[in-house]
Structure 1
Amino acid sequence: MRGRADGLLLAFSWLTVLPVRGPENVDRHAAGRAIARAPIVGLALGGTCAALVWVSITTGLSPLLSGLIGVAAAALLTRGMHLDGLADTADGLGCYGPPERAREVMKSGSTGPFGVAALALVLGIQAASVGQLAQLHMWWAIVFVSVIGRVSVVLACRRGIDAAAPTGFGALVAGTQSTALVAVWTGVATAMSVYIRPDRSWHGPLVVVVVLALAVILTRHCVRRFGGLSGDVLGAGIETTTALAAIGILVGS
């Protein structure tokens, strides 16, 4: 029981700005427990985002502006680190050379044109889609896209995935998630998605399958390109999966 609590505290400590302290000694076992609870963090962040968007719209703000506020709040609550990972990953994928060169670009500390374009595109999609979901009163969907974004992290850290470097965040979490845990979270996300569009109960599960499949493909490509998994790739996976899930839910609405 203590290990489970430590894993949840570490997950919130790593993935949010909340003043939460996890265990003092973090090894791969502790890191794996934290990653396994990342979707719970997504549930809390998604609920907060949905609440802020609801308040914004209630006070008379437009759906688009409300969506921007919700997305901005999510970025602040996560220290912007997932967005940093998205920008670094885009720059790494956009450069030429071997994996070592790509990793150097990602660690440079500056954001190049590919990173800027990725940020603008993904944030724009998220804000517009969250605003439209709110306009359609699909509040549960706003929560859900945050959860499935973190489910993609569990899939990315499944066994058989190596880290890009012997040290760092990737080295702590790569290959820590069992096939059974991946299946459990995929099942939970599928069950949650059924209630997004009650009139089309098949729509949400279809979005889960397609979006998580795309997340696996993206992670696999990044692992090949960079020589393994890194924290930047996980951040990019969260942001892109969130955006794609929101688009998928809105299709046909």
Structure 2
Amino acid sequence: MPSPPRQPSRPSVPPLHGPRFAFGTLTVLPVTVHRWDRDAARGGMLSAPLAGLVVGGCAAVAGLLLLSLGSGGLLAAVGSVAVCALLTRGLHLDGLADTADGLGSAKPAEDALRIMKQSDIGPFGVITLLFALLAQVAALARVYDGSWAGGALAVVVAAVTSRAALTLAARDGVPAARPEGLGAAVAGVVPVRSAWAAAGTVALAAAAAGSGFGGFDAVRSGGAALLALGAGELLLRRCVRRFGGITGDVFGGVEETVFTVAVVVAALGR
């Protein structure tokens, strides 16, 4: 009896391809992305908060190190913000500036997308970038001056929450504005329930982390995460209406907006 035909062997899949996708696309860490298919993108976007935890942890360490050397809260805040930018190649900041230029151009969607794709930064982008960085540094300086541990917590919560916003932005039903690029690769890959579950988990984790400092800090940390995610959702919906979908620049704009709102809320009432 002839033996059944052998099935062609599939290439072996490296383990942890979801986190690899997240760290390989969202950070400068030397992580090789072996797969670019939809399954890997789904795992990557669900793992985005984990990438945020690493980035935020490194930024917090930088701030605490500067504080231990007697720098004061302002320089510690600058150090934390700088590390966040360095660990992402500044791509999220660039995305924020490009998104601001596209939204402020008052051009049709196709022309606005073309403006966003250009390498230069226009006046809307410059102004938005300036005020976002000023707000981040000023807010973190306030928190660091009040408590070194509170400052570290604010950085980590903001970094994780801002990456959870990317998980939400990649949920099913959110289209891509272009047929190519990162936006097209991750648009709609995350099931809606999974995306909101990830966001809710991050908000609860932020509240739990804040509870170590007292009830008010639990509310403030959890509230910072929720308000920041709400701001990111508003920007996402505005971009989808304006551009017809998401792009890599929109992802960067959402991330930086959420980070900024999170640290600003963390600084209130101190």
Fold in common (TM above 0.5): yes
Q: CA deviation at 1:21?
A: 0.6
Matched, 1:222 2:239: yes
Partner of 2:179: 166
The worse-fitting range, judged by mean Cα deviation, of 184-193 and 11-20 is 184-193
Partner of 1:122: 132
Partner of 2:5: none
TM-aligned CA distance change 1:204 to 1:66, over 3 Å:
closer
Partner of 2:58: 48
Partner of 1:152: 165
SS in 1 for 2:16: helix
TM-aligned CA distance change 1:40 to 1:7, over 3 Å:
same
Matched, 1:187 2:200: yes
Give the residue type in structure 2 aligned to 1:41: A
Whole-angstrom distance in 2 between the partners of 1:87 and 1:210: 22
Does structure 1 conserve the Cα–Cα contact (< 8 Å) formed by 2:157 and 2:221?
no
Does structure 1 conserve the Cα–Cα contact (< 8 Å) formed by 2:161 and 2:203?
no
Whole-angstrom distance in 2 between the partners of 1:47 and 1:122: 21
Of 169, 178, 189 in structure 1, the residue corresponding to residue 191 of structure 2 is 178
Of 110, 133, 137 in structure 1, the residue corresponding to residue 143 of structure 2 is 133
Q: CA deviation at 1:4?
A: 6.3
Whole-angstrom distance in 1 between the partners of 2:60 and 2:224: 20
Does structure 1 conserve the Cα–Cα contact (< 8 Å) formed by 2:73 and 2:145?
yes
Partner of 1:198: 214
Of 75, 79, 82 in structure 2, the residue corresponding to residue 69 of structure 1 is 79
After the TM superposition, list the runs of 4 or more consecutive aligned residues in structure 1 that deviate by more than 6 angstroms. Answer: none
Give the residue type in structure 1 aligned to 2:214: P
Does structure 1 conserve the Cα–Cα contact (< 8 Å) formed by 2:177 and 2:247?
yes
Does structure 2 conserve the Cα–Cα contact (< 8 Å) formed by 1:75 and 1:83?
yes
Give the residue type in structure 2 aligned to 1:148: T
* Structural RMSD (CA): 1.5
Q: Which runs of 5+ in 1 are unaligned?
A: none
Whole-angstrom distance in 1 between the partners of 2:227 and 2:76: 27
Does structure 2 conserve the Cα–Cα contact (< 8 Å) formed by 1:133 and 1:142?
no
Give the residue type in structure 1 aligned to 2:257: T
Query: If the length of structure 1 is used for normalisation, what is the TM-score?
Result: 0.94
Give the residue type in structure 1 aligned to 2:197: V
Matched, 1:113 2:123: yes
Q: Which runs of 5+ in 2 are unaligned?
A: 1-12
Matched, 1:22 2:30: no
